[in-house]
Structure 1
């Protein structure tokens, strides 16, 4: 069956998404001093996610919603991750994650995910269906005092986006997203599972020695042309401050490639604006069909095999040639 940008199955859950997104009431107007204090407190929570960390990834499929489905065994893994602040305009904050491992006694660097935070956003680039991300308006009454978080894949193509507020419960502050759609992570995609996307809530919360990212994922799959829940998954990623690894290798990688990656980000942003979103074919093993090449070129810049200018030129060409126009009429129709 030919993949469309917005499937009828996804459209059938728009009403559910909208209702869930409005679960929290609008934030009432506050005195200027209180508004400013809340804004700065939110910024401090986001900026606290930058640093050097030991990371623990804990994933557990728990409750099966589909008869006969057997949840996967719990999976726990770990690693080292550098998170760097690469942009901060006040209302817009960008954090780049870089994984550091060791291979044959030498540091091995993997450019990892990126998270962009925007204060009181008018819209977000949300996952809409397989291979497509489209612009989704944030309801005007829900913008005040809230932040969006957009997560980008290793090649700076989009992954998912949501919006929400920093709320205090039990003396603790946490950011909670609206319900958001996400494509399968590689760990699931390579298994050819019965589900093909996640419907999720994300929470971010600082701790005395780092921060946590908690994902509450409903894994969804098509059955008779309708999206249905398959299994519930809980993911807790714990970032603990830690300097006992080769942090310098990550910083050296970023220093050598940040110009290239800035151009790549700009190229994706341009496509999202001019083509009504981003539509690109994805592969289970690699993410987008151009992901491997975009990452390899960064390494070639470091090794002197490719100039930065040449790498940027090829990256722009690959992104332009492998993305398609998003049909605004289809998007509008699916969201009615």
Structure 2
């Protein structure tokens, strides 16, 4: 606990030293917020669709003179994004990767999820390794703004931030505040000298789809202090495309949506009851229960496990593997 408090204090000091003014805009007048609300919603909803996605990752500037910068990495695939909840002030988008094997059969990988909430009072943010805690959004920064909370493949939290839609140079985008986030598996499996990112995220609609641009400062602990190691830029480009087995993704979701709705609800319940989410993670899988939660969804679709039994086991796994904060 002393180690955690010391690290938390370091985080606060580092955050205070960052150029917050660069990400925090003046408060938005209520009239302007109301005028932009429907356009904001339209831009978020427009991220749903069928896409060919490319992931472009490049480390650029090293801040630690002993660090060796990685070569740029590119990957991609076919991804389906669906609106699974829309209450007006909250929109939930589920991503699913569609992979076609050598036998022409499609495999679905439940991918990340993004929840958008209008004028939120608090967010579940990444606070330390294996821990996500509640953080208030400054009251004067709520009007007209949207939060984005990103969840991992098993619906456990990953990171959250708040920001606003703005138009600069003729391009409309949502831009986050400074956001802490845990290592992605692509980095975690290498056991790097850094162990988290400090990031700004941008989501921008385009004529061909949309882009997700990340500015990541990879941070590591040296002599008990968090220090920057290297800068990374990530550009994920979603291009409208449906020349693949889109139906396989929709069939997967139709078969498993009730199970996943219960899983989401259980993570939410635990976060409220325990003051956040504290759960151990593995470099190659995410949370220690991620593999089983995903496996049960496949069994539900295959009808080798009932939805009710899968939900019961999932609730037990989440409850037993999370701790109070």
On whether the aligned pair clears a TM of 0.5, the verdict is: yes
Alignment partner of 1:162: what SS?
strand
| Structure 1 residues 231 and 10: alpha-carbon distance in aligned structure 2, compared to 1, 3 A threshold | farther
Alignment partner of 2:298: what SS?
helix
Of 71, 74, 90, which aligns to 2:72?
A: 74
1:171 is displaced (CA, Å) by 1.3
Aligned to 2:28: 28
Aligned pairs for 1:171-182 (under 5 A) are 171-182=170-181
Of 88, 99, 102, which aligns to 2:86?
A: 88
Distance of 1:3 and 1:83 partners within structure 2: 42
Distance of 1:3 and 1:291 partners within structure 2: 29
Deviations 1:205-238 (A, max 9, x none): 0000100000000000111111111100000000
Judge which range, 22-31 or 154-163, deviates more: 22-31
Unmatched runs of 5 consecutive residues or more in structure 1: 327-336
Aligned to 2:147: 148
RMSD: 1.4
Aligned to 1:280: 279
Deviations 1:238-265 (A, max 9, x none): 0000011100000000000000000000
Distance of 2:256 and 2:28 partners within structure 1: 43
TM-score (norm 1): 0.93
Distance of 2:83 and 2:156 partners within structure 1: 19
Judge which range, 154-163 or 297-306, deviates more: 297-306
Runs of 4+ in 1 over 3 A off after TM superposition: 18-23
Q: Across the two proteins, how many residue pairs are aligned to each other?
A: 322
Distance of 2:58 and 2:213 partners within structure 1: 12
Distance of 1:292 and 1:112 partners within structure 2: 13
Distance of 1:262 and 1:127 partners within structure 2: 22
Unmatched runs of 5 consecutive residues or more in structure 2: none
Deviations 1:102-143 (A, max 9, x none): 123210100000000000010000000000000000000011
Distance of 1:251 and 1:25 partners within structure 2: 39
